[in-house]
Structure 1
Amino acid sequence: MIVGNGPVEEGAGDRIDQSDLVIRFNAVRNFPSAGRRTDVVAVCNTGRPAQAMLGSEDWLNGSAVAACREIWSVRDPEKFLDLRPRLALSHPELDDFCDDRTEDFAAFAASRAKRHRVIARSVHEGVDEALAAYRPEPYVVPSSGLIVVVHVLSSEARSDDEVVVAGFTHQGWAGHPFSAEKRLIDDFVAAGRLSRLSSDPSSSPSQGV
């Protein structure tokens, strides 16, 4: 179960908590209305989001982070180091966007006996390639949610799993290509690779939100 920070249907939290693995994101804003089980917290490990999380006692000691076994850094440090010169020209206002805090998340995870992993740049670049088919408007980077979805779907260890998403509104920061991302997620659903959560346990997950 991959749970974005958007709202979920009433009653969906119970179904989320019944999953074998639950992945949440960043500040986990819909916790606990979208369930409590948290196995992984995937974080934006660069720029202002990283600074905000690492500087917040509420995040560092929050229930979702305390419950998780793993913290995933979504942004490969070398990929974002390579992005810095381009963004300095195209988006000078994002001067701290590529500031890397991966080692800080790794140290925090180690201090709490949690596993830390970094999602490979090849996943990010594969997502960019997949999105190109939908002719997105110019964007900065794909969203963390889409990066994690593709990472999970491309994992051989998860090849036999049913992968379900919830709380994905495909709205937010203008630097993410949300319209194209929604179309890509919809195509994953149509191909049977992914489902969207329904709060009704008698219906197929793909018939939900």
Structure 2
Amino acid sequence: MTGGIPDLGPIRTISIVGNGPVSQADAALIDAADFVLRFNSAPACGAAGQRVDALMLNRARVYMSKRINPLALHRSPEVWVNDIEENGRVDWLFERECRPRYLGFGPVTRARAHLKEFDALEQSNPTSGASIIAEVLDVYPEAEIHLFGFTHQGKQHTHDWDAERQWTERLCAEGRIVRHLTPGPRARRSLTGRLEYAFRFVQMRARHYLFNKILHSSASTKRRIFGRQ
């Protein structure tokens, strides 16, 4: 097993925010944690809480900076890639906005070990959410882990959503994690938040266009990220 999350210091509470719906009532609770982790496009950042201490990507999304929430990219000090660097580097924009950190095979390996008990399909890959939950459970067993926006469903057929749902439900029953399914209206951005989102979006797209279309060709950019085929 190689790689894993960095030393986060003396943390007591961790908010792990998925891409599913999050209630407005949970926004303050998300930001109150010692560490806030979000995933991939991080759509709820700026609405369901303002903080993001790390943004986690899977390898399939290393070239996605045009589609990511610009607030999350701007605010996150680090982007964590759930893979080794040799399998794909993050887009250039991530490296200018926040520091990339490649977690290696450690989180995925830990998640597979946990999910094996629930007869997860051998050919399936754990989601980034399952990977980081397994990692945090093993590395920070005393921390309170709070999940938001986890619905255990998606379009990707490479994940065993049912096995991950069963595993999460058992962890909740054992009191090892808390999954928040708070009723109420979904979190929405304030007027100030919408204006900041628009500004960061224009800024991010302009930088991306300048670098990829003017300073470099799209083909050369992809070769730098993915290597020569």
Is this a same-fold pair by TM over 0.5?
yes
Equivalent residue letter for 1:168: F
Distance 2:30 2:37 in 1: 10
Q: Which runs of 5 or more residues in structure 2 are unaligned?
A: 1-14, 184-229
Q: Which position in structure 1 is the counterpart of 2:96?
A: 111
Q: Which position in structure 2 is the counterpart of 1:97?
A: none
Q: Which position in structure 2 is the counterpart of 1:185?
A: 168
Q: Which position in structure 1 is the counterpart of 2:50?
A: 36
Identity %: 27
Per the TM alignment, residue 109 of structure 1 is displaced from its structure 2 partner at its CA by 4.5
Q: Which position in structure 2 is the counterpart of 1:89?
A: none
Alignment of 1:41-190 (within 5 A): 41-44=55-58, 46-47=59-60, 49-51=61-63, 53-54=64-65, 56=66, 59=68, 62-77=70-85, 100-102=87-89, 104-105=90-91, 108-112=93-97, 114-137=98-121, 139-155=123-139, 158-172=140-154, 173-190=156-173
Per the TM alignment, residue 146 of structure 1 is displaced from its structure 2 partner at its CA by 0.6
- The secondary structure found in structure 2 opposite 1:41 is strand
Equivalent residue letter for 2:162: S
Note the alpha carbon deviations across 1:23-72, whole angstroms, 9 max, x for none. Answer: 0001112233322211110011x23x322x14x1x53x811111112111
- RMSD of aligned Cα (Å): 2.3
Do the aligned partners of 1:41 and 1:68 also contact (CA within 8 Å) in 2? yes
Q: Which runs of 5 or more residues in structure 1 are unaligned?
A: 79-99, 201-209
Query: Where does structure 1 differ by over 4 angstroms across 4 or more consecutive aligned residues?
Result: 107-110
Do the aligned partners of 1:139 and 1:177 also contact (CA within 8 Å) in 2? no
Per the TM alignment, residue 150 of structure 1 is displaced from its structure 2 partner at its CA by 1.1
Note the alpha carbon deviations across 1:125-179, whole angstroms, 9 max, x for none. Answer: 2221221211134543111111111112222xx3332111110000001211010
Per the TM alignment, residue 3 of structure 1 is displaced from its structure 2 partner at its CA by 0.3
Distance 2:181 2:115 in 1: 26
Distance of aligned partners of 1:137 and 1:160 in 2 relative to their CA distance in 1, 3 Å threshold: closer
Distance of aligned partners of 1:163 and 1:108 in 2 relative to their CA distance in 1, 3 Å threshold: same
Aligned residues: 168
Equivalent residue letter for 2:170: D
Distance 2:170 2:144 in 1: 16
- The secondary structure found in structure 1 opposite 2:34 is coil
- The secondary structure found in structure 2 opposite 1:136 is coil
Distance of aligned partners of 1:169 and 1:198 in 2 relative to their CA distance in 1, 3 Å threshold: closer
Per the TM alignment, residue 10 of structure 1 is displaced from its structure 2 partner at its CA by 3.2
Q: Which position in structure 2 is the counterpart of 1:5?
A: 19
Distance 1:146 1:126 in 2: 9
Distance 1:171 1:197 in 2: 16
Q: Which position in structure 1 is the counterpart of 2:218?
A: none
Note the alpha carbon deviations across 1:84-119, whole angstroms, 9 max, x for none. Answer: xxxxxxxxxxxxxxxx322x35x645433x333222
